[in-house]
Amino acid sequence: MTVDEKAKEFAAKFLDDIKEIIVDAYIEGYCEGKYDAEEKRDENEDEDDSDFIDLGLPSGTLWREDFLSDEDCENRRLAYNEARNFSLPTEEQCRELMSKCILVREKNGITFRGKDNEELYLGFTDQAKEANGRTDACIRFWVKGDVDDDLKAPCLQCSILLLPNAAGYHLCRRFVGEKIAVLTVKNKNKSK
C-alpha cells in the first residue's frame, strides 16, 4: 500500500469517527430537549404585552422584541422539542413579516420596519452558507410545524444577500436536536 493510499484510508476512518461524534451530539441535544420539554410549561404566560412589538401586520401578530434569552442575556438556544412549548410563529406569520415589512440591513442584524414605522431589530444568530458558496451572517429561529421522518423541524433563516441593503429569507428544516434561537409571537386580539 502506498503512502497516498494509507493517508486516504486513515482520513476515511477519521471522517467516520467525526460523523459518529456529531450524530451522538445531535441525538443528545434532541433527547435533552425532549425531556426538558416534558417538564416545562408554556413560559409565554409570564410575558407581558410590552415585550411585543405591533408592526401593523394584517393578521394582528405581535412579535417579541428580541429572542428569548438566558440569565446572561445571551440568546437562549433550544432544541425543537423544548422550543415548541413556546408560542412559535407559523410559516404564514413568517411570510407576512417578510413581505409586509421593510427589511433594513444593519451592521449586526436586520431591522423589520412595520406599517407605522414601528421597528423590530433582530441581531444575527448564526452563520449560513449561501447558494453562491459564501458564508454570511444570518438570523435563524424555530417555526411552529411538524417534525418529519428525518427528525427535522421547520425554521426560518434570514440572510444578508450580496446587495448592501437587502435581506433574503427561506423557510428550511433543521435537525430537531440542534439548538436554535427562539422568537415568540402573540395575536393582538388575544392579548387584551
Vertex 27: Cα angle to 156 and 151 (nearest 5): 45
CA atoms within 13 A on the CB side of 130: 15
C-alpha span between 79 and 71 (Å, rounded): 18
DSSP states along 63-78: EESS--B-TTSSBPEE
Q: What is the pLDDT of residue 173?
A: 83
Parent domain of 154: 3-191
Average confidence (pLDDT) over 57-67:
94
Can you list the alpha helix ranges (DSSP code H) found in 40-119? 80-83, 91-100
Q: What is the pLDDT of residue 61?
A: 95
- pLDDT above 70 for 36: no
Lowest mean pLDDT among 97-101, 112-116, 158-162: 158-162
Check residues 73 and 50 and name the one with the higher pLDDT.
73
Q: What is the pLDDT of residue 27?
A: 61
Structural domain count, the chain: 1
Cell numbers for 100: 409586509
Q: Residue 124 class from Cβ within 10 Å (0-12 exposed, 13-18 middle, 19+ buried)?
A: buried
Q: Starting at the earlier edge strand, list the strands of the sheet with 102-105.
A: 102-105, 109-113, 119-123
DSSP one-letter code for 116: T
- pLDDT above 80 for 159: no
Lowest mean pLDDT among 6-20, 27-41, 51-65, 111-125: 27-41
Maximum average pLDDT range among 27-36, 59-68, 165-174: 59-68
Average confidence (pLDDT) over 18-44:
54
Cβ atoms of 156 and 140 closer than 8 Å: yes
**106-148: pLDDT as tens digits:** 888 888 999 888 999 998 888 776 666 666 778 889 999 888 8
Rounded to the nearest integer, the mean pLDDT of the chain is 77
Cell numbers for 80: 425543537
Distance between alpha carbon 131 and the CA centroid of its chain, in Å? 19
Cell numbers for 88: 412559535
Radius of gyration (C-alpha) of the chain in whole angstroms:
19
Sign of CA dihedral 73, 75, 77, 81: positive
pLDDT above 90 as % of the chain:
24
Check residues 142 and 14 and name the one with the higher pLDDT.
142
